[in-house]
Structure 1
């Protein structure tokens, strides 16, 4: 499962906490991606691991907000590395 979110002030938006509270993702693989103004994932990967302790959480890709429009090649390469032929 791909889970994406913006990193706001070193954390996920509250809607993400609600999402992880609502759904049991045990035995699922969570591949994360986000955008940020420069703080990348901060500690959000560890937060997701705590919220979903029985899931396999993979730190994916983070794109700086100002680079979003020019990041297509980087995203394609990341997806190809994961085995998704783009």
Structure 2
């Protein structure tokens, strides 16, 4: 009886996790990559670090939130917002 609940649990956890990873990769390829190309073409600089893909959520936050904290910027939020409009 317990094995049945365990398999249901893993199924319910794995489907959203796979969906998240697919959405993450699609966002990276369809949004972040073109924005970085535009930033490079305009003479701006893009971050050279990417600690386990943490650059991608930084772009998402910069596109969604208007709050600017200059001391905590990992990317150039002004350039990201300029090229997403």
TM-score grouping bracket, smaller chain normalisation = under 0.3
Which structure is larger by alpha-carbon Rg, 1 or 2?
2
Structure number with the higher strand fraction is: 1
TM-score, length basis structure 1:
0.25
Higher percent of residues as helix: 2
